[in-house]
Every structure is written in structure tokens, then in C-alpha cells.
Amino acid sequence: MTQIAKFYVAGVQFHELKTIAHEINNGDFLQLVLEPTNQYDPNAVQIHFKDVMLGFVPKKFSAMVSGYITIEPVTCMVVNIDMKRKTYEQLEVELTVED
């Protein structure tokens, strides 16, 4: 596995992380969902856990990540979840692809 990005999930304060955080653990896998109709970023990639929208891949990574997703499977794993931190640092993830 090759790491392609590591970041804090963007926009968690506007989505459902706080309602489902007690179910998420370090090492859990999250789903990546392309959102090409997003009015702010045509490369937007949503991040979900059990069909619950948690936030987005940060815009500075979205074009790269959406490009990878169209070519090969991308794995998204929780590196750290800490609801006591500021909202923009509550959920850290790592994205990898197969070698």
C-alpha cells in the first residue's frame, strides 16, 4: 500500500460526525464518494461512515483524490478521532492505494 494523502476531514462541523463519533475508532475504514455536482468544487469527494456523511476531502487534495478514485480503488482509514479537539482537527484520515 502506498500513502497518497493524510489530512483532517474538512467541514465536519457542518455534517454528522458528532452524531456518530462514538461508533468510529482508529483503524476503521471510511467510504469515499465523488460529488461532481458540488457547486464549490467539481472534484469534491465526500467521506462517509455507514452511509453517514462526515465531511469532505480538503479542496487542496480533492482533484488528486478524485483522479485516483476514477483509476483504482482508494482506501480511507481513520488515523485519529478526537472529539475534544477543534472541529477542523477532530477526524484525521489516511488515503492509500495498492502497489
Q: For the chain, what are the domain ranges?
A: 2-97
**Residue 71 φ/ψ region, left for φ over 0, alpha for ψ in the -120 to 50 degree band, beta for the rest:** alpha
Q: 26 by DSSP, 3-state: which?
A: coil
Q: What are phi and psi of 96, to 5 degrees?
A: -135, 160
The letter for the amino acid at 18 is K
Highest CATH level, class, for 2-97:
alpha beta
Q: 68-80 as b/e, with b when 16 or more CB fall inside 10 Å? A: bbeeeebbbbbee
Q: Locate cell 472529539: which residue?
A: 83
Find, among 86, 77, 92, 83, the residue nearest to 17 by Cα. 83
**Tens digit of each residue's pLDDT, the chain (99 residues):** 899 999 999 999 889 999 999 999 999 999 999 999 999 999 999 999 999 999 999 999 999 999 999 999 999 999 999 999 999 999 999 999 987
